[in-house]
Amino acid sequence: MNSQTDKRPAISYLRISTDMQLKGTGNQRQLEATKAYAKEKNFELINTLDDHGKSGFKGLNIARGSLGDFKKNLTKGLIPKNTVLIVESLDRLSRQEPTTAFTLLSDILRYGIEIHTLIDRQIYTWESINENPSMLFMSIGTMMRAFDESKTKSARMLATWESKRKRIPAGEVLTKVVPSWIEVVSNNDGTRILKLKERDADTIRHIFDLATNENMGSFQITTYLNKNIRKYPKVNANWKSKPNKDWGQSFVVKLLKSKATYGALEIKKSNGIELIEDYYPAVIKKEKFLLAKKCISERALERGRKGDLFPNLFFGLLECGCCSSPIGYKDSGKKGKEYLMCNKRKVLRAGCSNRGWQYDNFQESFLTHIKEINIEDVFSNTEVEERLNDLRMKEASLQVRITTIQSEIDSLIDMSTQPDLNDISKKRFISKINASENTHNELNIELSEVKSELTRLAEFKPSKEHDQLLQQFKKICDLSSSADPEKHEEIKAVRMKFNYLLRRLINKVVIFNDDRNKVLPWEYDRELTAENDSELAEENDGLLTEKSDSALPKEFTDWFWSSRNSKSKYKTLESFLATERGQQELSKFTRYFMVKFKNGNLARVDYRGRMSFNSWKSKLKPKTNS
């Protein structure tokens, strides 16, 4: 028989809980010792399990590590019973409570696995710990010592951090590692303080201004910074990193997401992240950070290919008046053949009667309305102040609820750690804690949104926003004739900013371009015509003629009787309205849209951009033909 097949299979298990141990060659030391032991005992090392960074004290190596997978494979019968598991010492397997650690040990041994320890060169089998009491006591003693060491170390570290936290109000610096726009400065008395690097701080403030005021995304901000690199030199990504002359998009994203920009320190803990506010000197206000976060989330809806010029200025605002589906932009590939069309009609080609509206025509109607409207009438100071008061009350209410739920969570945690608590009760407490934490997180998200809206309204100046919107459209017109590929990104940025400014004023625009204004031929017989206007009515075999069409929109009848229409094909309005084309042409003169502004006010606007109804001057409802 080949000597190679006589070797017993062995598996090496390595675990170090920190990167510092890894840098200290702890991993390599364990592996080399294992290989030497396997060679000495004539074992075949078939696998190495590595739980680098998984805490044995918290049980992470079992919960989501290689040792947990090893245990599952044992239960499935995937590992031979005569296999040897080689570890540096028993505390590599677990540093949890002795009862939990011993249960793990006995579970592994029960499946016929031998555990060999390198430090004390002990061999543990199911038979040896049952037949030899001294070995059983020795294993339990090792586990107790490992648990006590980890518990003491954990308590010492927690006490150190707690002591440092208490000294934060006095300006205590917890760590030397700080964000790159901050430096640690030593005073004459030996104390250390944190200080902003003003040039870097100014650059970061400008980045947040670009995100909130100019509606720029990370790609556009990065491009802008690199074009103005002398004015805005790169802020280093890490306090130890070498200077890099170019800005990277990933670092801009990290800056925009970093809570350290408003002074908060994030500490990773086993149960989540602890946030210590007002630790760092703040570059921006928290409200500015939240506003930027909101702007970024809204921009996520409008992402497209980098080559697109953002053709639809009304992206994310349009809604179908018939089925409430979003209205999208449809490009046929021919100039002047771009349409706004209900998504339901576009995809299903049925199910909605709202017709497409030629994009250029709608844009002209909408901009006519925006140019002529008195924005101060729409947004009165009283309404803005009322909205601010409502939001302030909601903010206070949310803060009370968050504080109350946090107190409940703390109480539940205290009760769940009582020593005499049984497993069933403990699980119930954990379930309640999880539910409360979910509610706590949801309320915090809602509070962030309220604070963002408060910041936006506090800075909201309707006339200024309106002027910026019109100026932005002028820029669009000035750039639209340019065919220079190098200007594509600039054109896209200008168009996206127009959309952003529009969404600061308007919630949505509902389009009505269906058959609700349809005029049927038989609705215009001579009796109806005579009743409406007897002087213009004229006998003509019951048909509508040039003198008997006053009930229709004047613009439509003028168009029909103009030379543009082929009179040879349609002699009368009645015959024209009997066709699909006739109804389509009529809808161009009867369609309208409703503009819903941010404060809830409404305006009904016809196809020419003329406002026929508004909720801030009149409570009348828009007229529709029955």
Instruction: Tell me: pLDDT of 280 over 50.
Output: yes
509 three-state secondary structure = strand
- Paired with 318 in beta bridges are 509
Going by pLDDT thresholds of 50, 70 and 90, the confidence category of residue 318 is very high
How much is the pLDDT for 382? 65
Q: Which long-range contacts (CB under 8 A, 24 or more apart) does 472-477 make?
A: 472/497, 472/498, 472/501, 473/367, 473/498, 476/313
CA distance 612 to 590: 12
Closest by alpha carbon to 47, among 67, 77, 25, 24? 67
What local confidence, expressed as pLDDT, does residue 536 receive?
A: 35
Q: What is the rounded CA–CA span in Å between residue 543 and residue 526?
A: 7
Task: Convert the pLDDT of each residue in 350-407 to its tens digit.
Answer: 668 888 888 999 999 998 888 888 887 777 666 667 777 788 888 888 888 888 888 8
Which of 347, 320, 342 has its CA nearest to residue 329?
Answer: 342
Candidate from 226-235, 300-309, 508-517, 534-543 with smallest mean pLDDT? 534-543
In whole angstroms, give the CA distance from residue 474 to residue 264: 41
Q: What DSSP element (H or E) covers 320?
A: strand 318-320
* pLDDT at residue 534 in the model: 33
Report pLDDT digits (tens) over 235-260. 864 434 444 568 888 889 999 999 99
How far CA 157 is from CA of 19, 97, 162, 163, 272, in Å, comes to 17, 19, 8, 10, 17
Q: What percent of the chain has pLDDT over 90?
A: 11
- Dihedral angle sign, alpha carbons of residues 156, 157, 158, 160: positive
Confidence of residue 301 (pLDDT cuts 50, 70, 90): low
Mean pLDDT, rounded, of the chain: 76
Comparing C-alpha atoms, which of 165, 162, 145 is closest to residue 89? Answer: 145
In DSSP terms, which residues pair with 84 in a beta bridge? 10, 114
In this structure, what token pair is assigned to residue 274? 């602890």
Please, which pLDDT band fits residue 115 given cuts at 50, 70 and 90? very high
Torsion sign over Cα 93, 94, 95, 100: negative
* Segment holding 329, helix H or strand E: strand 327-331
DSSP state letter for 519: -
Strands 114-117 and 84-87, by their bridges, are: parallel
Residues 6+ apart with CB under 8 A from 74: 107, 108, 111, 113
Q: List Cβ neighbours of 467 (8 Å cut-off, separation of 6 or more).
A: none
- Euclidean distance between CA atoms 116 and 123, whole angstroms: 5
Q: How many Cα atoms sit within 13 Å of 87 on the Cβ side? A: 21
- Mean pLDDT is highest, among 25-29, 63-67, 153-157, 234-238, for 63-67
Three-state secondary structure call for residue 44? strand
The rounded distance, in Å, linking the Cα atoms of 59 and 54 is 8
278-292, 365-379, 391-405, 553-567: the lowest-pLDDT one: 553-567
Q: Tens of pLDDT along 459-504?
A: 777 788 888 888 888 888 887 766 676 777 778 888 888 888 888 8
Q: Would you state the pLDDT for residue 612?
A: 72
Tokens 């508004």 -> residue? 614
407: which DSSP letter?
A: H
Phi, psi of 309 (to 5 degrees): -100, 20
pLDDT for position 308: 66
DSSP 372-406: HS-HHHHS-HHHHHHHHHHHHHHHHHHHHHHHHHH
